[in-house]
Structure formats: C-alpha cells, structure tokens
Structure 1
Amino acid sequence: MNPSAWPAPAAAVANTLLVNPTIASRASARFPLALLNLAAALDRNGASRIIDGNLDRGFIDTALDALAQTRFDALGISVMGGPQVAPAIALSRAVRERFPQLPIVWGGYFPTLYPDTALNADYVDYAIRGQGERTLPELIAALRGEGPPPAQIQGLSWKLDGAPVHNPDRDFSSDDAPPLLPYAKLGDPRRYLAPTFLGRRTAVHQAALGCRFRCTFCGVAAMFGGATALPAAQRLARELGYLKHGLGADSVQFFDHNFFDREADMIPLLEVMARLELPWWCYARADALLNLSPATWTLVRKSRLRMAYIGAESPNGAMLKEIRKGTRPDQTLEVAELCRRHGVIPELSFMVAPPHDTEAATEQTFEFIREIKRINPQSEIIVYIYTPLPEASRHRKDRGKRAAAPLLDLRGEPVVFPDTPEQWTQQRWVDYACHADAPWLSDDLRRRIRDFVTVLRCRYPTVQDLRSPRWAKRGLSAMAAWRYRLRRYDRPWELDLADRLVRLRRPQASGL
C-alpha cells in the first residue's frame, strides 16, 4: 500500500505519534515530560509512540519511517519558542509532503502563546492551547469520528476555510496525573539521567503544575492564568521512589513552575523529600521562602535542597509592580542571606534592558547584583534581556489589564512581532524568545551587558560547571578580580581569550 494514501480506514485502536523536535544537545537531554504525560492520557483509550529529537538526531527520518510502517491518526508535535521552532517546521513540512492527509497538531508554549501564528502555516492543522491531556485525546477521537467534532473541543484552535478559529479555553485541570509516567516509551530511560552538580545520575520531574502569580512577562502565567496545583504526598513518593529505586537516580531537578507554594501544603512534600534523601533543585519565589517557619526550614535542610532558582527580575520596585511580580527588592536581598544561613544556593535571575529607561535600569541592576554578591557570594546570577510577551499572548484573564506603553525599536517604530513560524526562526526573534536580545537595544548597551556578564561569571564561576578544572576556574576568578572590584567591565579581551580555552558553563543557556 502506498503509505501516503491517506486517509485509510481507522485502526481498531486510536494511535498517535508524538514528537519532541531537537532543542538540546544529547548531553543535555532530559525526560520529555510533556509528551510522557500526553502519552499516558492517550493510552487510556488508545496507543501512542514517542520520538525524542534530543536523543535521536535523525528524528525526522524516524518519524517518516514510523508513519510508513504503522497507521497513526495524527502527528502531535511539542513546540517551544526559540530554537525548537525550526526543527518543528522541518518535521511538519516533511510529513505534509509525504503524508498530505495526516492531521498535524502543534502543542506546547509556542502555539499557546501564538495560535494564529502557528495556524498561519499550511502544515499545521490544529493548535492546542494550554494543557493537552484532555484536548488531544478528544481531538483524536473526533478525527476518528468517535466523539464531538473539533469545533466543540475546548482549548483547540483550528481552521475554517483557511482562517483560524479559536474554541473557548479549557479550564485548568489537576486530576489527570497517571499512576506512573510511561518511561518505557523512551527506550532505556536511564539514558536521560545525567551528571550534574547535584549528583551523578540526576533525573528531572514535575510535581507541582502552574503558578498562582500572574507576571505579565511569563509564559506560565499566559498558559495557566494563575492556576496551580500541588501533588499529593503519596503520589510524589511513588514517582520519586521509582526514579530512585527503579532507575537509579541519585538526585532530581524539579521542572515545577513554582515548587514552593503555601507552607501547609509544602510540608508533606518536604517530608517525602527528606525520607528519600535526593539532593534537588527547583524554582521558588523569594516571598515564599521568606515566609517559611524555622521548623519548615529545618525540614528543607533535611530534604537536601541544594539550589533554588528565584526570579528576582529587577531592583526597581516600580517595575516589579508594573510586571505584577508580587515581590520587592528588599525581599531579594533578604532571601540571599536566608539561603546562605541554611546552606541553599540561590540562583537569582534578573531582566535587564527594559524598553523604557533602558540604560539606567540596566546599570541599577548591575549594582544590585554586586550587593547580592556581597551578602552571599555563593549566589548564582542569571542575566536575561527583558522581552515581554505581546498583549495578545497573555492569558485571556489578563488581556487589557495594566496595559504597558507600546514597545518601540531603536528608531522609535512600533515592534511588530512575527506572524508566521518561519519568521520566528530568524535569529533576532530566536534571541527575543530566549531573552537574549530585543529590538530596542543599542549595540553599545548590548556590548555593555555582555561585558558585565563576562566579568561576573569569570569572577564567580558557577558551581554547576563540572567540566572545567578547578585550577582554571580559580585562575579566571583571579584574572577577573581587578575588573570586578574597579567596575572595569568594558571589553574584557583577556577574559574572553581565557574563556575560549576553559569554556565555562553558562547556566542561562544550558541549564543544569
């Protein structure tokens, strides 16, 4: 049979091919948690297969071979903004050319934030906004003629005569968690355990989902609209127990959007972590950590929390209010000291170069970072460019609220965001999605930020760097000391040259 002769008669059981296009190196590959959760949902009434482009560099050929050999009802592609858009396009085009009738579904952050843009591509038939654990199975059933039509599926965007149609949003759900993720679909899941500063075999996991805060720049807020849910302690114990005893993990990195929530809800989870004794890393908020009681901090220490990633964002209180962060600059300083006392490394992220008062705000942030380093030299610092979401990408609950001034480029012209996936693959927009550049940055300020970051990371090499030898990191720190002390950041040519040899790890680009 010609494999491109679609549609063929539906198979007895619904079957979906799920693909995670390449976005990281093999060494940085971690469990594709989104697809594992989707597969668990699909397998309740059907079947699925996962192809992970982070390990399989020939994932497009693998997908084409799979489609030629097995009947699938649809192809589901997980798409993050930034570097994952280009391989998602390449896969979609290849499948559309060879199997023109096969429905192609994009899900994840990119189609959630930019559904019109995703559907402007002729190789995307459906876009799932927000959570997909219910939406995708309902869509597969509809494609098989076994359920309500796509027009009645919440959280789904589709096309009518070539024009995008957006069904009502699906309400947040926290009750779809499977008993255990189907790790066996990844082949040998131990391939995803990696050496990090936490341990020799670090696994990744997501326990809590969503975040109750609604920061205007945040994709999590845009996707979940302030909803959040923590897991039951029994479920967390079961899942982490499997990672530790079933796969041999000796540490865990939580991909939770905000692990620390209300203290009373956190205590049972911390008790689980304390029993398992798995060193761990997570996202957290300064105010949440500051509000923990001394007894809970004792439990945090027993749980072996090693590092908490905290979005400090800015030393400017007015800006923090404008972006609805909900924290204050003094809390950032307090949490740096609090973490020092409890043996937790705070990994503090900052957004420099806002579109208004750009240079002054950036210099203020540099000085604030120096103050943090004075309080707690072990603090890890991540510097990003502030790249806010377009108004249309914000959650429906937040659109039109606290509308910011229009974004203007260097020429004073309004910033026009891409309206096709191909445009988002241009390097300037990949950099925007990755918080690495913005249209309102001048060359001088761009270089100033780069030079400051170079001096800072050479003066204080990250503890996450396991590859660079200690003597090299000590040497770089000594070389950078005078520049850091005298604030001579400009053109650190000697540090750039030395770093080409040492190649310090950059956590903002590579993560753990």
Structure 2
Amino acid sequence: MSQSPNTLLINPTITTSRVNARFPLSLLHLSAALDKHGSSEIVDGNVDRDLVDASLRKLEQGRFDAVGVSVMGGPQVAPAIEVSKAIRERFPATPIIWGGYFPTLHTETALAAPYVDYAIRGEGKESLPELLNALQNPEPALASISGLSWKNGGSIVHNPNRHFALPDDGHVLPYDKLGDPRRYLASTFLGRHTAAHQAAIGCRFRCTFCGVAAMFGGTTILPAAERLERDLSYLKYELGADSVLYFDNNFFDREADMIPLLEVMAKLEMPWWCFARADALLKLSESTWKLVRKSRLKMAYIGAESPNGQMLKEIRKGTRPDQTLQVVELCRRNGVIPELSFMVAPPQNTEEETEHTFEFIREMKRINPQTEVVVYIYTPLPESSRHEKDRGKRPATPLLDLNGEPVVFPTTPEEWTQRQWVDYACHVDAPWLTDKLRQRIHDFVTVLRCRYPTVQDLRSPHWAKRSLSAMATWRYRYRCYDRPWELNLANRLVRLRIPQVSGA
C-alpha cells in the first residue's frame, strides 16, 4: 500500500525584500487541498531569501514525492528556473510541477525545459492532488486529469481544461505552515497590520490583453458570506490584522451577489483596497454604496486602460471613457480614492494615443485631484497565450518592432528572463517603442507623481512631498514634461514610492 503523498510547494522570490512579502495565497490554497489526502510543506522565497538553500534543505530533511513551483511571469521566472535546476540536479527522480500564470499562458515554453515535468494550467486545487495520486498509482491515467499538460515521449499532451470551483471545507487556510504568519502583515496606508486576502476567483470579463482572462476564460466564483466572515474574523481576531488588500481579480461583481459580502465587511469594518471596474461601481445603488462606506473601502484600483473608445472595444474591455470620468467623480463623493491604470504606447498610433492618454489623465485630475494614476506600456499577450475559447477571435494586428519585423516571443523559460522580456511581461517596455517616446513617458510620469505624490507613500515625509509637488507645479501646468532634471535630482533624495513597483 502506497504512502500518502507529501509535496513541497515553492513560491520563488519576487519581492525586493522581506518587508514586501504577502501571504502566498495560491500555495496556501494548494496546501489545504493536498492535505486532504496527504501532506505538504511550503517554502516562500519572499521570506526565505536564499530560496535554493531553503528548498534543498527541506528536501534533504524529509521524504517528498513531488515539488510544486508557482510561477508568475516577469521577475519570478529566473528564481523559479534556479531552484528547479538545483532540485533536478540534487534529486533527479523527484517530479517537478510548475503551476500559476506563467505555465498557464506559456505552457509549451515551460515544458520545453528539462527541469519541468508537468504543467498545471489554471487553478490547481483539484488537478495537483489528482496528479500526485496518478504518480503513485497506475490508475487513473495522466490523460484523465483536466488542466494538466505533460510530456509523452517527444511530444507534449494538453488535457482538456478544468472547470473552476471554489470548494469550502469549513476551515481557514493553513497559515501556520508559514511559520509566524504575523510577519506577513504589513504597514500600509490602510493600517499598521494589513493582510492580503482573496475572496473570489476569476473574472467574468474577457479582455484580450489580460492574463486573468486567459487563465479563467470568463469565469468568476464568489465565496459564501459565511466563508468570508470566517476568514476575515481569523485575520482580525487571531492574527491581529486591521486592514485588508483584496487580491480578487475583480472584487465588485453583480450587485445582488455583492451585498451579503459587503454586509460582512461592514460588520468587521477593516479598511480595504481592491481591484474594481468602472461600470460595476457606477451600477451600485445608494443603499449599496452606504454599505461600501461602512465597510471602509479606502481605495479601488480601476483598469481604465485607454481614453480611446474604439480601442476599448477592440480589447473587449467592456467599459467606455465617459464611465472612467464618471467613476472618479462617484468615488470622490463617496470618500473612496480611485487608483486608475492606463496602458500607453499601443502598437498602432503609438505616439498619438500616448499623448491622448496624458490629456485624459489631466482631465481626471481636474475632476478629482485625489485620483491616483498608474501608467503601463501596452504589451498584449501572444495569440498562443489567450484562452482557448478566445484564440482566433478578433485576432490582433501582427506586432512589429521598430524595424518592421514581426515580434518573436521567447520559446524557453530562460529567454523570458532576458531584460527585454521581463520588461515586456511587467508592462514597462515594448519592442515598438522609440527611445524618444520611452523618455517622454518616463518624464510625464515623473512630473505627474511629483505633482501628485501617492497617499500610499508612508516613507517620504510630508514636507518633502509638499516640496516636490510645489517644484513640479509649473511643469505640470504648462505641460513642460521633458527633461525634468530638478525633479530627478530631488527624487534621488526623497525617493517617492511608485505603486506599480512596490504594490499596495
């Protein structure tokens, strides 16, 4: 009779320091699922900064039947490669399974690596336990596991996608596996002990540029109010959390479904931040907004993306520019700070669309000066990374670089660690950007964030932020963004916080 499987779950390093570590929620959910039929342990590279040593030490100290590595695109790919290679060298017989956004969006790329044996696409709470069972027993066969991609000789097999679920076993997540979970509570603009939490999974919208849409395919599942109350009560009364960052991909869904959750949050009154959509917030009734205010929503991160209505249609965003302007005013009236993200420098009409976005941002600031702005470069997903339901639908114009050549995406994990592709994955650069426009965007953002320092910056003293704002006033007023040398010099001393880099 085979032993119950024991799995080592690894969260490769992605934060710049321990202070920025948040709960590795995906691994906590996986661990809870695995422990129903076996056991599991977690190594979090955001806390255990020597990730390779910590992982190898765990494997040497106990018996593990497999290693699961959670991989986001961008800066997390390199440490994922490093730890996977080290494990393959030291423990060549131990199966290595990659899961998360990177192997979901780039499945064949992940499996092209000799140190990756299996890839879990989408949610892994059911697929991973089934895979562990299949590795220990002749039945069921690998081909029966939904959401799994695997190597069969010289070819790669992609099993059908798995339908998502949000099972509830009546227990909170196994936070104790992180050692002291209180070390994950951060001092933020929300409170002194801010916890990260995810209530719902997925998003029912199908934006063509979005990795969430590619992973979930337009599916979203909300938790029961009882579950949310149990989870938040544990965070508040057991761990001492006083505020919450909700990492739901889209917190506000249909109003009728949100009311029971908002009632729970209004009862606990923990200040919170979340992702939201302009159209969803505009549809809320006054009675629901009353609940929102009582629940102490402090900031909502809203994907505005573009002031171009036609572009919003092409990327299937489902919102309009006028709704963006309406929602910043609505948030002002309800005491909520809107944090809006924009994607500049699209592949077509690159400079024109970028300047149009700059002017739109100024209009938003006129309506609500408290509006926070995050500027990204528009870097669409490769066609092969879109959800299978969406591939071939509304195919985008081929992406061309500055030389007019087609953009060729990496075919190995190592290639994705090159600076140009890390920047692409993080929406900070694109092959079609000229040096002149790249500098123009950088200068605009410098003037904007100096003129309106973010409230999320707790490190910089108030006098410094006021001084920078005063220095930037004339540049902002007269649109003199180019070469803000004095602001760059002052920033070396003050080092204003950048939300898209350091997060909430």
Tell me the TM-score normalised to structure 1 length. 0.97
Q: CA–CA distance in 2 between the matches of 1:366 and 1:389?
A: 24
Change in 2 beyond 3 A, CA 1:462/1:210: same
Q: For 1:322-363, what per-residue CA distance to the aligned partner results, in whole angstroms no more than 9, with x for missing partners?
A: 000000000000000000000000000000000000000000
8 Å contact from structure 1 (residues 19, 78) kept in 2: yes
Q: Which residue number in structure 2 is paired with residue 234 of structure 1?
A: 226
Q: Which residue number in structure 2 is paired with residue 267 of structure 1?
A: 259
Q: Determine if the alignment matches structure 1 residue 27 to structure 2 residue 37.
A: no
Letter in 2 for 1:203: A
Q: CA–CA distance in 1 between the matches of 2:167 and 2:241?
A: 26
Q: Which residue number in structure 1 is paired with residue 8 of structure 2?
A: 17
5+ residue gaps, structure 1, are 1-9
Q: Pick one of 449, 462, 471 that aligns with 2:454.
A: 462
Change in 2 beyond 3 A, CA 1:35/1:90: same
Q: Pick one of 463, 467, 470 that aligns with 1:475.
A: 467
Letter in 2 for 1:165: V
8 Å contact from structure 1 (residues 41, 133) kept in 2: yes
Q: For 1:400-435, what per-residue CA distance to the aligned partner results, in whole angstroms no more than 9, with x for missing partners?
A: 111111000000000000000000000000000000
8 Å contact from structure 2 (residues 7, 66) kept in 1: yes
Letter in 1 for 2:478: L
Q: For 1:160-182, what per-residue CA distance to the aligned partner results, in whole angstroms no more than 9, with x for missing partners?
A: 12322111111122225662100
Q: Which residue number in structure 2 is paired with residue 192 of structure 1?
A: 184
Alignment of 1:63-102 (within 5 A): 63-102=55-94
Q: Pick one of 207, 210, 214 that aligns with 2:202.
A: 210
Q: For 1:208-243, what per-residue CA distance to the aligned partner results, in whole angstroms no more than 9, with x for missing partners?
A: 111110000001100000000111111100000000
Q: Which residue number in structure 1 is paired with residue 439 of structure 2?
A: 447
Q: Which residue number in structure 1 is paired with residue 38 of structure 2?
A: 46
Change in 2 beyond 3 A, CA 1:176/1:426: farther
Alignment of 1:146-157 (within 5 A): 147-157=139-149
Q: Determine if the alignment matches structure 1 residue 488 to structure 2 residue 465.
A: no
Alignment of 1:2-401 (within 5 A): 12-24=3-15, 25-145=17-137, 147-175=139-167, 179-401=171-393
8 Å contact from structure 1 (residues 382, 508) kept in 2: yes
Letter in 1 for 2:224: A
5+ residue gaps, structure 2, are none
167-176 or 327-336: which moved more?
167-176
Q: Which residue number in structure 2 is paired with residue 502 of structure 1?
A: 494
Letter in 2 for 1:117: T
Change in 2 beyond 3 A, CA 1:63/1:11: farther
Give 1:147 deviation, angstroms.
3.9
8 Å contact from structure 1 (residues 41, 178) kept in 2: no
Q: For 1:131-169, what per-residue CA distance to the aligned partner results, in whole angstroms no more than 9, with x for missing partners?
A: 100000000011111641222211001111232211111
Q: CA–CA distance in 1 between the matches of 2:80 and 2:346?
A: 30
Letter in 2 for 1:195: S
Change in 2 beyond 3 A, CA 1:147/1:49: farther
Change in 2 beyond 3 A, CA 1:120/1:373: same
Letter in 2 for 1:15: N
Describe the SS at the equivalent of 1:180.
coil
Letter in 2 for 1:87: P
How many residues matched?
503
Change in 2 beyond 3 A, CA 1:397/1:177: farther
Q: CA–CA distance in 2 between the matches of 1:495 and 1:161?
A: 58
Letter in 1 for 2:265: M
Q: CA–CA distance in 1 between the matches of 2:386 and 2:39?
A: 34
Give 1:313 deviation, angstroms.
0.2
- After superposition, the CA RMSD in angstroms is 0.9
Describe the SS at the equivalent of 1:84.
helix
Change in 2 beyond 3 A, CA 1:50/1:371: same
Change in 2 beyond 3 A, CA 1:402/1:352: same
Q: CA–CA distance in 1 between the matches of 2:122 and 2:143?
A: 17
8 Å contact from structure 2 (residues 168, 227) kept in 1: no
Q: For 1:371-416, what per-residue CA distance to the aligned partner results, in whole angstroms no more than 9, with x for missing partners?
A: 0000000000000000000111000111111111100000000000
Q: Which residue number in structure 1 is paired with residue 405 of structure 2?
A: 413
8 Å contact from structure 1 (residues 40, 178) kept in 2: no
Letter in 2 for 1:492: P
Q: CA–CA distance in 2 between the matches of 1:147 and 1:52?
A: 32
8 Å contact from structure 1 (residues 209, 256) kept in 2: yes
8 Å contact from structure 2 (residues 170, 227) kept in 1: no
Q: CA–CA distance in 1 between the matches of 2:156 and 2:19?
A: 38
Describe the SS at the equivalent of 1:101.
coil
Describe the SS at the equivalent of 2:74.
coil
Q: CA–CA distance in 1 between the matches of 2:213 and 2:165?
A: 15
Question: Percent of counterpart pairs with the same letter?
Answer: 74
Letter in 1 for 2:96: I
Q: CA–CA distance in 1 between the matches of 2:143 and 2:154?
A: 14
8 Å contact from structure 1 (residues 11, 71) kept in 2: no
8 Å contact from structure 1 (residues 138, 147) kept in 2: no
Q: Which residue number in structure 2 is paired with residue 5 of structure 1?
A: none
Q: CA–CA distance in 2 between the matches of 1:392 and 1:89?
A: 22
Q: CA–CA distance in 1 between the matches of 2:168 and 2:151?
A: 28
Give 1:11 deviation, angstroms.
6.2
